[in-house]
Structure 1
Amino acid sequence: MDPVEEEEKLPELYSKSSIMIITLITLTAFGAILYSINLYRVNQRRFIFPTMLGAVLYQILGARFSGGLSLRNEIWSNMVLNFVGGMLILGLWDMQIGRNTRYRPRNTLSVFLIILILLLIQVGLTYIGVTSLPE
């Protein structure tokens, strides 16, 4: 088998660095979504639900914990929380997918564009004065 054919048979996954960057700039749960897509692509579907449940619980408990801290800058506490969450996801990768698993990196441009659009919507809504949902 030639190397090109062998390369094409490798699964196309979001890289560890992409997952970590997305986790740092958004939420641990978003990084877990990308990781769960990887689990689906390598046929490890049984780990998807526990991974997502763990990420959501981690996010909720982390927010409660960091909310109780009196830090000057909330962004730093969120970044630390997301960094630890990202490291946990990368640890799961090593256990569930395998540290030395070969794969083709998946393009993350669309993910970044979606995040940018959501951020622009949030900024736009804040700019026009919509800061809470209607009751």
Structure 2
Amino acid sequence: MAEVKLFGFWASPIAIRILWALKLKEVSIDECVEEDLVNHSFTLLQYSHAHKKAPILFHQGKLIAKSLFILEYINETRQQKALLPQEPYDRAKARFWAKFVDDKFRDVNIKTKADKAEGKTAAFTEQIASLGSSYNHRAATDL
């Protein structure tokens, strides 16, 4: 892949997932553009006019929007190192855990919009504890 530019927010689990996929596929990113999730840049609004949200990916002058479509595009344009297992059951487990983490991050992101620092700290502590206990639980069960 050449000419890769990603518009996203540094703390967004959605943008992080795209960065991980690019790294797994050994794709170098020419530029990461940090977006303000409240006050979108002119460039984001110009290129993401359908839904006006990050992340968006530019590849060779083409725009790909929405995280799941970006991941599919990355996976299809770089055939080596598949992002999901080939076996349907293993693929379902991977999707389950990806959705689980998404839901946990979404809940905490809502809580971290609190104005007080102690509210944000508590939300992050809760997130870490919940992901840690989920990881331990995962070791004991498949789904």
Query: If the TM-score is normalised by the length of the shorter chain, which range does it land in?
Result: 0.3 to 0.5
Higher RCO structure, 1 or 2 (CA under 8 Å, sep 6+): 1
State the TM-score, normalized to the length of structure 2. 0.32
Q: Which has the higher strand share?
A: 2
Find the structure with the greater CA-based Rg.
1
Q: Which has the higher helix share?
A: 1
